[in-house]
A and B are shown apart, each in its own frame.
Chain A
Amino acid sequence: MKNSKILACSLVLLGCVTSLAWADDSGPQNTVRLGYYFVFFNSSSTPITGPFVPATPALDLTAKNVQTPYVAYIRRLSTHWDAELAFGVPPKTETLGKGPATVGSVPYNGVVLGSARWVAPTVLIEYKFFQEDSPIRPYVGVGVNYTAFEGRQSSAGGDAVGGGPTSIDQTASVGPAGTVGLKYSFAPNWSVIASANYALVRSDITLTTAGVDRTTRVTFDPFAAIVAVGYSF
């Protein structure tokens, strides 16, 4: 609930800034970008705790790197300011065991334990360097990322480690996001960008197997590289 309120506020903020009167009208006001996300996770987790969980060696989780199409809408605010609403097509992200090679004789480390589709919009305010007519414009941005984990699914490997069919409860994440990028305009209305992006994504995960709950908090810390083509109008 709290997370969704923050998201709502962020979207309102985006709406506000995009309609600000200080937006000048030199050139196209809107840009749509299509491209690709290359997501690299630098995850860490607290050891999983709950009934029948061995304390040592600790059992952690991590996530497997993913790639997914990138879609964004950019509203020009002024010569130097943009607002961006970025989406990835929700990638099916696999959660991996991180810890001992086996639990008992059940494979653990590096095993795909489950997956979820990450619905992860990010709102950014970006500052563009150089002048409007410069073909190359570096930019930096800060904003807010919201991530919800949909379609959570246990794998056979996850069920095997968990001890039976398992359900997941996973809290949505709201955290800061940042970007550093470079825009190159190669034709009127057309540009390409490359950017490096970071978001803080944290989630409390409760795993329920046969009525037994085990919990952990995972910090996913995804770093994403984006390459995209933009069309302005």
Chain B
Amino acid sequence: MASIRLILGAAAIAIALSACGSNTGSAVPSSSTAHGTLVVNPPLRLVSVNNATLQAQLGASPSGAQLLELIASVQAGLAVLPGYTPSNCGIDVYYLLFRTTGAAGEATESSGAMMVPTGASPGCSGPRPILLYAHGTNTNKALNIANLEDPTNTEGALIAAMYAAQGYIVVAPNYAGYDISTLGYHPYVLANQQSGEMLDILSAARTALPKTLTSGTSDNGSLYITGYSEGGYVALATARALDLQEPGQYTAVAPMSGPHALEAFVDSIFLLGQVGVDDTVFAPFITTSYNKAYGTAATPNPVFQFTGAPVDVYEPAYVSGITTLLPSTTSIDTIIGTGLLPETALFSLTPIPAAAFPQPPLTAMQAGELAQILTPGTFGYGTDGSNLIQNSFRASYALDAFTNLDGVISPYLTGQPALPTVAAAPPSINFLRWGLYMNDLRNNPTPWVPSGATLLCGGQNDPTVYFLNSQAMAGYWANVAGSVPPYFALLSVDTSTNPMQVSVPNGTGVFAPLEDAFTEEYDADLTNNGYAQAQADYHGTLVPPICAAAVFEYFLAPTVFGGP
């Protein structure tokens, strides 16, 4: 469920293998453990396909054919741009093994893909830009985004077709904790580790590129950064990390559907009770990651009433083994089917009594108001005993959110003062909220605005990673930092204000064709499969290819597709 399932479905690409060789040439692994080291140089090429073969293999599946159609329509639409010539490249996919660090800075190893464009079509060889891509939450521990033969690797196929086959050298990590990585967990929505890993694979890729079999393609020095969902967050965190080193190191960043405003996002779940699709899957990823990064003791703030330890967070039925539950080689459907996680029941149906909130800091009236806010809702609330999060932990989190209001959340609460900014607010009670605050991309010692062109793409009715994340970043730049990034654009590919809306307004502006394409796809899903399925598909299947296309257009011409 949480695995990103792009529109590609089962598009698969055949791979290459070794057949015969010399006793002199095989690469020997590097013994260096310095982060950013390319472990095997030259790296293994897993696939080499020309454009005709790539198209034939993608076109063999209905979803792959749909993607090719989307790309063709994007190319046709771009014909109005002066000097634009479509690139239809072959690709060589390399498997990179590189050194990086874990959540607590421990040395570890990770892997990923480098997809290099090839062929005689314009813009497919010679000096080309690098596109650094971060993938979305994936429950499959065996995920290898470089292995395009794996029919479940739909995100790999999407970036291969959308970016590499259109002239970008795509570099994408699998993340520590996946594939060959021996790290026993995945550092998740952890800005420093994840941006560090992105820069580590970038360094490894730049080392690898001159020594590959694809000698006709080289790095032209331009860098573009994007990613989806978890990876949208990672992309933006990477841009920030580069800017903190030195502004101007990347041309553009375009995060898609990312949880950038982590504190506000999770506040909307824990305090406002708006449980989203797949929240029960995200929860163990986050608590494990923050426990590894910051420890499970009630530090660094001794007043935390609750640590991030599973026994504090989760109902007893789920505590055992939850720190190593995800990612897993067992399918998420089996994990849920065998009762190791509930499918949707994040919170309890039993109301949290006002007495659960200690006083001070709350008056009896405030405690009553908070209890009222926390009245159980519908989606995401299980019957007693089946929910994932303990009421006591939710009460602790909600109290923290209520007393240290996030500026994005305050407008949703009646009787609260309007906060002057949308900056995150420092937590004082709950460990999880503190971890989210630490990693919220609005939380900067000095205001930060991306130095490169920036597009935030998503769907405004996204039921999984709410669009408020992108809106909060836009608000942060405009209201707190005081300026927006160059050629800034905030794009919802969904023009509907209500996901059940029948008559959706047509798209307007430069992204109108993509907005209309999203409406068409969503409506078809809604009509054919019903509301629940359309909601389930929204974040992981429907938005990704449309936003990916928008990002392609934006990267090509930010002056045309972005703001002033």
Q: Do A and B bind each other?
A: yes
Most buried by B among A52, A53, A114, A161: A52
Do B14 and A163 touch (CB < 8 A)? no
How many of chain B's residues touch chain A, expressed as a range?
35 or more
A59 at the B interface (CB under 8 A): yes
A8 at the B interface (CB under 8 A): no
B116 to chain A, nearest CB (A): 13
- Interface-side segment among B19-27, B398-406, B532-540: B19-27
A117 at the B interface (CB under 8 A): no
A160 at the B interface (CB under 8 A): yes
Number of cross-chain contacts by CB at 8 Å: 160
Contacts of B52 in A (CB 8 A): 105
Q: Among residues 159 to 173 in chain A, which have CB atoms less than 8 Å away from a CB atom of chain B?
A: 159-169
- Interface-side segment among B43-51, B182-190, B437-445, B450-458: B43-51
Contacts of A97 in B (CB 8 A): 19
B88 to chain A, nearest CB (A): 14
Do A161 and B90 touch (CB < 8 A)? no
How many of chain A's residues touch chain B, expressed as a range?
35 or more
Do A54 and B15 touch (CB < 8 A)? yes
Contacts of B48 in A (CB 8 A): 104-106, 160
Contacts of A43 in B (CB 8 A): none
Do B21 and A207 touch (CB < 8 A)? yes
A126 to chain B, nearest CB (A): 36
B149 at the A interface (CB under 8 A): yes
Do B21 and A158 touch (CB < 8 A)? yes
Do B25 and A113 touch (CB < 8 A)? no
> Among the listed B21, B24, B39, B97, which residue makes an inter-chain contact with A162, where contact means beta carbons less than 8 Å apart?
B21
B164 to chain A, nearest CB (A): 14
Do A209 and B20 touch (CB < 8 A)? no
Do A165 and B17 touch (CB < 8 A)? no
Do A61 and B19 touch (CB < 8 A)? yes
Do A152 and B19 touch (CB < 8 A)? no
Most buried by B among A161, A205, A214: A161
Contacts of B305 in A (CB 8 A): none
Which residue of B is nearest A61, CB measured? B19
A13 at the B interface (CB under 8 A): no
A155 at the B interface (CB under 8 A): yes
Contacts of A106 in B (CB 8 A): 16, 48
Contacts of A212 in B (CB 8 A): 18, 44
A98 to chain B, nearest CB (A): 10
B62 at the A interface (CB under 8 A): no
Contacts of A209 in B (CB 8 A): 18, 21, 26-27, 44
A108 at the B interface (CB under 8 A): yes
Tell me the bound Cα distance from A205 to B147 in angstroms. 24
Tell me the bound Cα distance from A166 to B26 in angstroms. 5
Q: List 5 A-B contacts (CB under 8 A).
A: A48-B17, A52-B17, A164-B45, A208-B26, A210-B95
List B residues at the A interface (Cβ < 8 Å): 13-29, 39-40, 42-50, 52-53, 90, 95, 97, 147, 149, 212-213
Contacts A152-B23, A154-B21 known; 9 new A-B pairs at CB < 8 A: A97-B19, A153-B24, A158-B21, A162-B18, A166-B18, A166-B21, A169-B23, A208-B26, A210-B43
